[in-house]
A and B are shown apart, each in its own frame.
Chain A
């Protein structure tokens, strides 16, 4: 249950300490970009990203005074973003399930297009959307966001070995997808 998960995450916040409360504006400035990217990477539809980011920072704003350890702040914010993404993509999934496959196919980069950043990005997003959810979450946090495996284990509330295991599988999936892409491009160039 996501609600319970988020409650648990929030309950992990250290005891309040006004002396070391980080300023919200600073937190927003430092983390906005990464929260935005994480929500998109984790499957929040583009049309809902604005709302999802707002939900994350509303929650952060309410609970920020409970933090005194800045070192934990990033992980905590990612936790909120992760659970927010779960909520948003769940509601979106109901609607888009039938549309998704066709859309993903159309988003795959065509032969010769991979050099363009936008197409490469679309390829990654299409890959993420096809990936099983548990692998995707780990891939996004470890590879795209470059968080440490222990941090990811804390965010996802799973064992460290589970993170490593899922990451290994996700990386293998990604390489397979890239190999297929490279081969298709070679075939296209040959013709």
Chain B
């Protein structure tokens, strides 16, 4: 075989082999839907709403709703089997909103045009934010979405990196397999992730930082590419504070605030034991 033939063959092989599988597509699609449905679009809603409403025109329940339109539209266009995602998004908004001071939940309510869900629990202390790239500007912010927001590595990235680091000896094939195993979380996994975060929150309420941190670490293991990584990161910081692991809390807070400077949970983090050098 000549080098020319070899070149053509290898390029064709790479073009084919590097494409995603059907499972990759479905997994990414589901995660994307979850993120958009759960995201407080804020100012971005104005811009994104056009496509959202357009997508959802046939089935979307509300003309002014972004997430339902988007979810229904994409779901309908792509597979039609994930309508439950909207419900999951609502639950996330309600519970996380209730947990973290309602900001996120209220914004989600507004964007969904639904009745405000009852807070899942009394507002406690904690944390948490929407991830950087997920973090469209807060609701009150300018109508122009921070489009220029570079897709900075999210906490999910951080966790994935950590997980990957633990697999340091693994080759590309094994890494890919591990990613598939870890990241192939069915839509229902969001509910499981959320339930664990609620447990962590309750542990924090009870001033059981050790348990809360343990749950956060378990989340890292079970959901390395989880949806609620921002909330998780904030919970980690507050847990560390309860355990008086101030240096670690400050370090985590620096990373957190660097990635989510406009997070609705940033203030909570700044008021924690990590406040000293959090800024």
Residues of A within 8 A of B (CB): 2-3, 6-7, 10-11, 16, 18, 21-26, 28-29, 32-33, 36-37, 40-41, 45-59, 61-66, 80, 83-84, 87-88, 91-92, 95, 99, 103, 106-107, 114, 117-118, 120-125, 143-144, 174-175, 178-179, 181-182
B32 close to A58 (CB less than 8 A): yes
Most chain B C-beta atoms within 10 Å of own C-beta, residue among A53, A91, A92:
A53
Decide: A54 near B32, CB < 8 A? Known: A23-B55, A48-B161, A63-B145. yes
Chain B interface residue number, banded: 35 or more
Most chain A C-beta atoms within 10 Å of own C-beta, residue among B32, B50, B51, B76:
B51
Within 8 Å CB of B147, what residues of A?
Answer: 10, 59, 62-63, 66
A65-B51, A174-B7 are known contacts; what are 19 more A-B pairs with Cβ within 8 Å? A3-B148, A16-B47, A25-B74, A25-B76, A25-B78, A28-B78, A33-B19, A36-B19, A46-B175, A49-B24, A50-B183, A51-B225, A54-B31, A54-B35, A62-B44, A83-B150, A106-B171, A125-B18, A178-B6
CA distance A65 to B52 in the complex (A): 10
B225 close to A23 (CB less than 8 A): no
CA distance A120 to B165 in the complex (A): 26
B262 located at the interface, meaning its Cβ lies under 8 Å from any Cβ of chain A in the complex: no
A to B CB contacts below 8 Å, 22 in the list: A6-B148, A10-B147, A11-B148, A23-B54, A24-B55, A33-B19, A37-B18, A45-B164, A47-B160, A47-B175, A47-B176, A51-B157, A54-B31, A58-B133, A63-B47, A64-B48, A65-B47, A84-B151, A103-B171, A118-B17, A144-B11, A182-B3
The listed residue (B77, B134, B161, B164) touching A26 by CB distance below 8 A is B77
Decide: A37 near B151, CB < 8 A? Known: A50-B28, A54-B35. no
A56 close to B151 (CB less than 8 A): yes
Contact with A along B121-154 (1 / 0, CB 8 A): 0000000000001101000000001011111111
B7 close to A178 (CB less than 8 A): yes
Within 8 Å CB of B35, what residues of A?
Answer: 54, 58
A25 close to B175 (CB less than 8 A): no
B210 located at the interface, meaning its Cβ lies under 8 Å from any Cβ of chain A in the complex: no
Name the residue on A nearest B227 (C-beta).
A54
The listed residue (A2, A47, A118, A178) touching B178 by CB distance below 8 A is A47
A55 close to B133 (CB less than 8 A): yes
B20 close to A32 (CB less than 8 A): yes
**Binding site of B, secondary structure by majority: helix, strand, loop or mixed?**
helix
B153 close to A87 (CB less than 8 A): yes
| Complex A-B, nearest 4 residue pairs according to Cβ-Cβ distance, in ascending order | A55-B151, A121-B17, A120-B13, A7-B148
B177-200 with Cβ < 8 A to chain A: 178-179, 182-183
Decide: A50 near B225, CB < 8 A? Known: A58-B133, A107-B171. yes
B50 close to A21 (CB less than 8 A): yes
B268 located at the interface, meaning its Cβ lies under 8 Å from any Cβ of chain A in the complex: no
Within 8 Å CB of A6, what residues of B?
Answer: 148-150
Decide: A87 near B151, CB < 8 A? Known: A117-B13, A121-B14. yes
Name the residue on B nearest A58 (C-beta).
B133
The listed residue (A25, A46, A52) touching B77 by CB distance below 8 A is A25
Within 8 Å CB of A65, what residues of B?
Answer: 47-51
Question: What's the minimum C-beta distance from A181 to chain B, rounded to whole angstroms?
Answer: 7
Question: What's the minimum C-beta distance from A16 to chain B, rounded to whole angstroms?
Answer: 8
